[in-house]
Amino acid sequence: RIGQAMFEQFKADALATGQDVSESLQSVLSFFSVTQNVEQLEELNKLAQQLAAFDSTGQGIEGAAFALKEALSGDITSLAERFNMSRSMIRAMGIDELGKTGNVEGFIKAMDELLEKQRMGEEAFEQMMSSPAMQVQKLGNMMRSELAGAGTDALQAILPLVTTLEEGFQEGR
């Protein structure tokens, strides 16, 4: 029951931010070796989602989660290089030391501050997520998620709509 509730919460978080549910869940799972605290898992995944939005390498949430996990072990190389952040600023925020000592709560707070200073904070993330391209991606992820959980009858019921949309795109309407 607890596992199902966690799954549903992480799935809802992914859909709310336009993330691919499967990739987002993989991100959460990657942090299990660091913490089993659900709130911390959510916060770490939120940080990964924010970083993924600014990742120019195209590795998405998987790459962002990897960089965070490395930083949680005290290695800031991936975080600095992938997201073009100053190593000295990362160190000044204590992120490497917080990671090495296992202070997950402190690490999360320091990362929030760092992202704000780097103009990658929550407000910048929300602005990026509200772009038309991201809204289309969000809709696509929601549809994939819902269709994955739908039965055959539900899929048959929406098939005419899908067919109409496909024809419209083909005809340029």
Residue 90 reports pLDDT greater than 90: yes
pLDDT at 24: 82
Q: Give the N- to C-terminal CA distance of the chain in Å, as an integer.
A: 46
Mean pLDDT score, 87-97: 94
Q: What is the pLDDT of residues 119-132, one digit of tens each?
A: 776 776 566 656 55
| Range name among 11-25, 43-57, 128-142 with the lowest pLDDT average | 128-142
Got the DSSP string for 78-143?
HHHHHTT--HHHHHHTTHHHHHHHT-HHHHHHHHHHHHHHTT-SHHHHHHHHTSHHHHHHHHHHHH
Give the confidence band of 153 by pLDDT, cuts at 50, 70, 90. low
Q: How many CB atoms lie within 10 A of CB 74?
A: 14
Share of the chain above pLDDT 70, in %: 76
pLDDT at 105 (0 to 100): 96
- Higher-scoring residue by pLDDT: 127, 16: 16
Does this model's pTM top 0.85? Answer: no
